[in-house]
Amino acid sequence: MTGREPYAGRHRGQYVVQPQSWRPHPVPAEGVDVTVICVSGHPECGVRMPDAGGPAENDHEYAGDWMTYHLVTTGHALYSRTVHDTVQLRPRNTAA
C-alpha cells in the first residue's frame, strides 16, 4: 500500500476511509501516559493528579488509585482524563 490508492469509502472530515477495514491496537511496550484533572464543583476544583515518579508510569491503575483517593478525601467524583498511548493499525479481520 502506498497511501495513494483511491478509496471508495466514506468521508470523515478531510479523510476518505474504507469503513471497518482497519482497527487501532494499543502497543503495551510503548507505555501509556494518563493525565487526570478534577473538574468537580463550581468553581471547578482543578487539582491535577501528581506524576507517579520514579520508574512508575501514570498508567490507568495509578490514575484509578489517585481518583479513588481524591474521591474519598474530598467527595469529588468528576474528572477530565487524557490518555496518551501508541497504537498500531491492523486489518480488522486479524486476531489481536
Q: Which of 59, 76, 83, 85 binds Zn ion (CB under 5 A)?
A: 76
71 binds Zn ion per the rule CB under 5 A = no
Q: Which residue, 27 or 77, is less far from Zn ion as judged by CB?
A: 77
* Cell numbers that stand for 43 in this block: 468553581
Site map (CB under 5 A) of Zn ion, residues 16-55, x = contact:
----------------------x-x----x-x--------
Q: Which residue, 23 or 40, is less far from Zn ion as judged by CB?
A: 40
Q: Which residue, 7 or 69, is less far from Zn ion as judged by CB?
A: 69
* Cell numbers that stand for 75 in this block: 467527595
Q: Which residue, 47 or 52, is less far from Zn ion as judged by CB?
A: 47
Closest separation in Å from C-beta 65 to Zn ion = 15
Torsion of CA 89, 91, 92, 96, to 10 degrees: -70
Rounded Cα distance, 26 and 84, in Å: 10
CA neighbor of 80 nearest in space, from 46, 42, 30: 46
